Amino acid sequence: MEPSVVDPQHPSSDLLNSLLLKYAEDLRVLMERQRTLESRTENLDRMAHYDLLTGLPNRQLFMERLTGMMKPSRRPEDAFTLMFIDLDGFKQINDSEGHHIGDCVLQTVARRLTASIRESDTVARLGGDEFVVIARALSGDENIAAFCAKAIGALSEPITDTGKSLLVGSSFGCAEYPRHGEDEVTLLAHADAAMYCAKAAGGNTFCVYSRAM
């Protein structure tokens, strides 16, 4: 019996099926590698821009957003308010209850802050018990006061997620763009000064920047 000879110009159906299966498998592997690469890239990007404990934007992403909001045109709708937030009583909880409980408190604070702001706003964690809010199109002392009162009230509620009833307060320091600063450095410094003013007033309150600070 003579051996079969495969004509390269007219391959058999078995050979075609084999080649198609190999191609499909190679394509599947390549697509899987692409998905893995994209997932790793997304994870790296998230790690670079978001706080691992709370899931909030971190300092880097906050600064990028703040810089992006500095508008040269200075239209009324471009105004916004920057708020520095420091928790009152958090250090005592962290020291007495342990870091695990402290982490739970920070996660609860992050959720409450997120729930108390608008969708267009940004809340970020700078580190430790320091948070910051960029409140878009928020200007005027009365409007800032109403915004802060709502957020402070939400944060003042007892935290029971840990199995205990824990209380933390919050001190808000507010600086409005461009009224209190026309660049990032000035606005940050004025919001920080206002926050220390709120601390000095006993905490669990807010201060809006003024030259007297």
Structure tokens at 192: 């920080």
Structure tokens at 130: 């320091």
pLDDT computed for residue 11 by the predictor: 56
Work out the pLDDT band at 45, boundaries 50, 70, 90. Answer: low
Q: Model pTM?
A: 0.78
Domain boundaries, the chain: 12-49, 59-208
| Catalytic site includes residue 86 | no
Confidence of residue 28 (pLDDT cuts 50, 70, 90): confident
pLDDT greater than 60 at residue 194? yes
Any residues with CB less than 8 A from the CB of 57 and at least 6 apart, and which?
49, 50, 51, 65, 122, 123, 124, 125
The pLDDT of residue 44 is 62
Q: Look-up: residue for tokens 């992403």?
A: 61
How far is C-alpha 94 from the geometric centre of its chain's CA atoms?
A: 22
Give me the percent of the chain exceeding a pLDDT of 90.
70
Q: Is the pLDDT assigned to residue 167 strictly greater than 50?
A: yes
pLDDT at 95 over 60: yes
Is a pLDDT exceeding 60 seen at residue 46? yes
Q: Which two tokens stand for residue 153?
A: 């009230």
The Cα 66–Cα 81 span in angstroms is 10
| 3-state DSSP assignment of residue 50 | strand
Residue range 32-57: average pLDDT?
80
Window from 19-28, 33-42, 106-115, 184-193 with minimum mean pLDDT: 33-42
Residue ranges of alpha helices (H) inside 12-98 are: 13-49, 59-68, 90-97
What is the homologous superfamily of the domain 59-208 according to CATH?
Reverse transcriptase/Diguanylate cyclase domain (3.30.70.270)
- Average pLDDT of the chain, as a whole number: 89
Q: Distance (Å, rounded) from C-alpha 84 to C-alpha 63?
A: 13
Under 8 Å between Cβ of 155 and 168: yes
Catalytic hit among 86, 88, 121, 129: 129
**Residue 86: which pLDDT band, with cuts at 50, 70 and 90?**
very high
Q: What confidence tier does 64 reach under pLDDT thresholds 50, 70, 90?
A: very high
Q: Which of 174, 175, 170 is nearest to 199 (CA)?
A: 170
C-alpha distances in Å from residue 26, one per residue of 19, 22, 23, 38, 40: 10, 6, 5, 18, 21
Report the alpha-carbon distance of residue 84 to residue 64 in Å, rounded. 16
Q: What is the pLDDT of residues 110-138, one digit of tens each?
A: 999 999 999 999 999 999 999 999 999 99
Q: What is the pLDDT of residue 81?
A: 97
